[in-house]
């Protein structure tokens, strides 16, 4: 039962983090970036507009 509670707590934290990111993006007039269930990376703007991010072969620094 303890493991189930930890999973639920983690899911809640993930949701709250996403909600906070959306609020910050709205306040700063920017967007959030996330990976969809299909594996596509997208930018989501404050107005709900979602734009796929073009794949890049450049490694992150």
Query: How many Å apart are CA 32 and CA 28, to the nearest integer?
Result: 11
Where do the H-state alpha helices sit in the chain?
Answer: 2-27
* pLDDT tens digits for range 14-55: 999 999 999 999 999 999 999 999 999 999 999 999 999 986
Taking 70 as the threshold, does the pLDDT of residue 2 lie above it?
yes
| CB-based burial, 30-49: b 16+ in 10 Å, e otherwise | ebbeeeeeeeeeeebeeeee
pTM: 0.69
Query: How many Å apart are CA 47 and CA 19, to the nearest integer?
Result: 15
**Mapping DSSP to helix (H, G, I), strand (E, B) and coil, where does residue 31 land?**
strand
Taking 70 as the threshold, does the pLDDT of residue 61 lie above it?
no
Place 1 in a pLDDT band, splitting at 50, 70 and 90: confident
pLDDT for residue 4: 86
């Amino acid at each position: 039962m303890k493991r189930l509670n930890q999973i639920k707590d983690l899911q809640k934290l993930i949701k709250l983090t996403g909600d906070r990111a959306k609020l910050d993006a709205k306040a700063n007039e920017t967007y959030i970036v996330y990976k969809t269930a299909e594996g596509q990376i997208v930018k989501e703007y404050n107005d709900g507009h979602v734009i796929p991010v073009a794949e890049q072969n450049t490694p992150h620094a």
